[in-house]
A and B are shown apart, each in its own frame.
Chain A
Amino acid sequence: MTAALKPFSGPFGRPEARLLLSRTCLGCSSADIDLAIELGLEATIAKLVAGDFGARVSAASLARLQQLSPNSFEELRAGLIYRALVGGDALRSTMTLLLHDHFATAFRKVRSIPFMTAHLELIREHALGDFPALLLKMADDPAMLIWLDGSGSTKARPNENFARELFELFSLGHGHYSESDIKAAARVFSGRRVDAAGTRFLPADHDDGLKTAFGKNFKTEAELIEIVVAEPACARFVAEKIGRHFLSAALNDETAETLGKALRAHHFQLGPFLTEVLHSDLMYSKAAAETRIRSPLEFVIGSLRALELRGNSEALAAMASTMGQSLADPPSVAGWPEGRAWISTATIIARQRFAIEVSKGAKSELKLRQRKAAAEDLNGICEAVLGRTIAAAPDLDANFFERAAWVLSHPEAQLI
């Protein structure tokens, strides 16, 4: 298969390794960068996609991560944070957060820890897999059915919310579907009811008749999804969203189109598509560096990963909430507003407060401890967090955590 994106041919040095890891792993330490350089671009990407790069804990701990079963909303969020902090599958965690934003389902309406857990696990499972399969699974996901009122939708009164968002937010984007397409799709998703046991299919309430959407006939949900992903707008819509995260917040039309072609060429398989994106020239463009404001989760998790810290994941999730990103509880069906919207008079203070908490180390509510020895001098910390030293760095009479806080409070630390 010929690559749709021009492969990167330059040297894979420290800046490139840092760019790759900070965008795929939420954040990276100097040791991560050293390892990537040692492995080389090809092997690093292979390991990232395979979920075998930069684990902070033993294999036994990683196995336990698969079995974490939360009992509260706070634990649910803490589990996600912990996994992103220590797992060797940081790329999968990054994609999980990205797709969580994409499918934007919120606990405040779902009100069920098991359903919300299953929803996020479904996303994680497919985060580097088959995107159409994920779309199809979403149609039966209890959390999604509660969130978009699919539970209780009947043949007589099909609810259109899920069908509408399937087209507008999940696959095609605004303007690429008609009201009649929505009505036809709503019929095929009828006949589901969520109860304490999960999703039940009620054949009597399901419309199994012939429907037409996008000018094509279909009877089942799978046939509809096939029709949807075959629509020209679908590949570009999904690929652009991914591209805005990994490449640049402001993609031009041409790049978005090229990315769409690449995704279609990979038959919507996210892992192979990402592999091509990460190998591409676009990924290492200097113009794309530091053009995006870190999301609160990227700021919080990335800082800890960069500084080789560990701490209280519940408190980290709560802190990200005060910065405007309440994990597992996005503000609307459209997910979190991004870019400059991350920064407001309130959230910038919250980001500053995070830095202050970091300065307290183990005594902060984050209970921060160093996972292993890291550079403790100001230049070393600047290098880890910012990727460069600061020429006018003062001679701070401070400990490691206070120095780290000083660096994190810099505007540059908010960029990726």
Chain B
Amino acid sequence: MPLVSRQTELAISAPVSRGKIIQNMVEWGHFCESLFEATPMRPSQLFAALILSLAAIGASATAQVAADFIPRSSEIYLEVSSAADLQQAFAADGPFREFFALPGLARDIPYPLFRGLLDLVAEHSSAEIAISVETGFLAQIEIRAAARSQSGARTIRTAIAENPLFKDLDLLPGNSPDSFEIAGLGEVAIRQGFLIISKTAKDIDELCALKPEDSMSQHGGLRQLRERSPNAQLRGFFSRALIVSDLKILGMKPDNFFGSLLLDGLRQDLAQAEEVFFQAELLPEFKLQLRGLGRKHPRHWTNPESDATTLPALDHEIGRLSLNHDLDEFWRNREKIVSVEALPGLAEFTQNFDTLLSGISTTEVIASLSPGLEIVVLEKDRSTASGQPFLPGFVLALNLKTERDEEFKDRLRVAFQTTIGAINLSAGAEHRRPYLQYSRQISGVEILAARFVGAMPFDEEQVSDNFQPALAIAGNRLFLCSDLEAATAAVAAELESATNPQPMRHQIELQGPGVERMLVFNRKLIEDQRLLKEGDTLEEASEFSAALEALAGSVKRMSFSRRLWSKGALWDFSILRQEKQ
């Protein structure tokens, strides 16, 4: 029986049949968009979005989803220690209030009704009744109240009928003898000792027909989670999730090599896993851990033995992506990694890149790289910027193998200059300003840079306005940067860190305040995009951008890291919320 067995648990679960998931996964992109539209995606929504997105990653890789590759079930359980805590969790300032911003829930079940229902449960049954709210892949929400006895369930049923809050609702006979329906809220049924409120009678039938193995309860997961959690005592309530799956679909080959470099290690973690285990805690810091139990990874998906070092934190850093891949290994396996359809495009790219390398080849350059790749995103000085979008600065850091000589490094410098020259060739025809190449010395390190010639009255070409590239090689670290300012910061940090190198982790990190400032600065651009691509009014677009800003502003730091352990992969995802002023 998939319904919650403990009367003090609040469950938000989605025990969905495989067929239903297949159908829903086809529409997952649409759903994610809806979810995104429902921002502010406060932590609880992020949590739900993450779970759903992870499960859907594989589906995006192919249009043909095989049933065997789909997770058996996906459940999110929210626990409370008492009926009072349950009320507190969904109070106006409670951590789960934001669930009502989800499209399905907001539309189908108004918050006051839900609150009323909780109050009613607390008043009439104390610890006798549990409520479970089910959310599916399309944010279809069901509320279930589970009672220990028929009489408890009937008490609730009667109370709903008599409660003034629900007086405007039509209480209708249900589609089965032991159920009734509340228009606007859903179908209510008493089954197997449980009072069930669901959107439709059909859903109730499906729910009750689920086999035990479809539910996490079968695994005793909830109890195990409670025992393992280090922060169980923190605030009286916390959230956890479990996905039991065999996500073999994630092993499908991607179409894009560079996308694969960024994401497919993650996909492989899930693909190799025979069972994936999530654990999350909401307060004070939202943390989610995933452990994939399964086979070992091919070498190119990660590089646990790497001695790559990380670039120290730069001033005004707002984000960082560190990939501890062996790029040479990755490149040599490219034909195994990407789909056959993607290979011609990759060959064309290699050919074009070879031309710019003036005598050395793409393969030779990649073979000269030691493991580790980092992209650092920086806030730029906005005082001289014009128009939108205002892009952040970035630093791409690669590591050269120590045996590479100065001539090889000069070849890379020539390749940079050739590329700038090639861009200049088309500048006249496309009415763009050409680049002027120049160099600067920072503590003995030469930085090659390019800047636009003169000011441009038509400053609408803001994207190019934001990009005046620079290249530097400090020791064995190669930097390709968006501008001289970023290159200077990277070189200075590299020189400082030479005495105290830190190992590189496989991680992504974002600083909320910096992201928020970027969003604020590009507000008009974001709003314009909503107008043009969604048909929004300005008011709707403004609401959307304000929600995005609020979301970024509510997060102090968000990080994701990944490492391998003996039986699979271990992911850590955390959101540290910004302290309220």
Contacts and interface: CB of A to CB of B under 8 A. Distances in A.
Contacts of B430: 111-112
Interface string B509-539: 0000000000000001001100111111111
Nearest to A313: B532
B209 interface: no
Interface in A38-86: 57-58, 60-61, 64, 67-71, 75, 78-79, 82, 85-86
A111 B535 contact: no
Given A58-B539, A111-B430, A363-B27, A197 B532 contact: no
A198 B533 contact: no
Given A117-B460, A197-B458, A112 B431 contact: yes
B463 interface: yes
A61 B537 contact: yes
Interface in A163-202: 194-198
Interface residues of B, number: 29
Interface in B533-567: 533-539
B300 interface: no
A81 B527 CA distance: 16
A166 B477 CA distance: 60
A314 interface: yes
Contacts of B538: 57-58, 60-61, 64
Contacts of B531: 61, 64, 68, 82, 313
Interface residues of A, number: 37
A115 B430 CA distance: 11
Contact of B532 (A57, A78, A113): A78
Given A69-B460, A71-B463, A114-B458, A60 B539 contact: yes
B539 A61 contact: yes
B201 to A, nearest CB: 22
A197 B457 contact: yes
A64 B538 CA distance: 7
B387 interface: yes
A304 B501 CA distance: 61
Contact of B431 (A61, A111, A363): A111
Contacts of B429: 111
Interface in B376-395: 387-389
Contact of B535 (A68, A195, A311): A311
B460 A114 contact: yes
Interface string B437-461: 0000000000000000000111011
Interface in A299-316: 310-314
Contacts of A86: 537
B456 A312 contact: no
Interface in B406-457: 429-433, 456-457
- Interface of chain A, main secondary structure: mixed
B431 A58 contact: no
Interface centre among B27, B463, B524, B537 (most CB of A within 10 A): B537
B30 interface: yes
B293 to A, nearest CB: 37
Contacts of B458: 112, 114-115, 196-198
A71 B460 contact: yes
A310 B431 CA distance: 35
A257 to B, nearest CB: 43
Nearest to B427: A196
B126 interface: no
Contact of B30 (A57, A85, A363): A363
Contacts of A69: 387-388, 460, 528
A111 B527 CA distance: 26
A69 to B, nearest CB: 5
Contacts of B431: 111-112, 115, 146, 194-196
A71 B537 contact: no
A196 B539 contact: no
A211 interface: no
A71 B535 contact: no
Interface string A312-328: 11100000000000000
A82 B532 contact: yes
Contacts of B574: none
A11 B524 CA distance: 47
Nearest to A194: B431
Nearest to A112: B431
A137 interface: no
A79 B535 CA distance: 11
Nearest to A367: B534
A369 interface: yes
Contacts of A57: 537-538
B533 to A, nearest CB: 5
B462 interface: yes
A313 B535 contact: yes
A369 B531 CA distance: 13
Contacts of B462: 71
A71 B388 CA distance: 9
Contacts of A79: 532
Contacts of B432: 196
A61 B532 CA distance: 12
B227 to A, nearest CB: 44
Given A111-B431, A112-B431, A313 B460 contact: no
A41 to B, nearest CB: 30
Nearest to A56: B537
Given A61-B538, A111-B430, A115-B431, A75 B461 contact: no
Contacts of B388: 69
B224 to A, nearest CB: 40
Contact of B527 (A64, A198, A367): A64
Interface centre among A57, A60, A71, A310 (most CB of B within 10 A): A71
Nearest to A72: B463
B253 to A, nearest CB: 26
A312 B534 contact: yes
Contacts of A68: 528, 531-532
B204 to A, nearest CB: 25
Contact of A313 (B30, B433, B533): B533
Contacts of B528: 64, 68-69, 75
5 contacts: A68-B532, A75-B528, A78-B533, A312-B532, A371-B535
Interface of A: 57-58, 60-61, 64, 67-71, 75, 78-79, 82, 85-86, 111-115, 117, 146, 194-198, 310-314, 363, 367, 369, 371
Given A70-B460, A146-B431, A367-B533, 12 more contacts: A60-B539, A64-B527, A68-B528, A69-B388, A78-B532, A82-B531, A82-B532, A82-B535, A197-B458, A310-B536, A312-B532, A314-B532
6 residue pairs, one from A and one from B, having the closest CB atoms: A310-B535, A61-B538, A114-B458, A78-B532, A114-B460, A112-B431
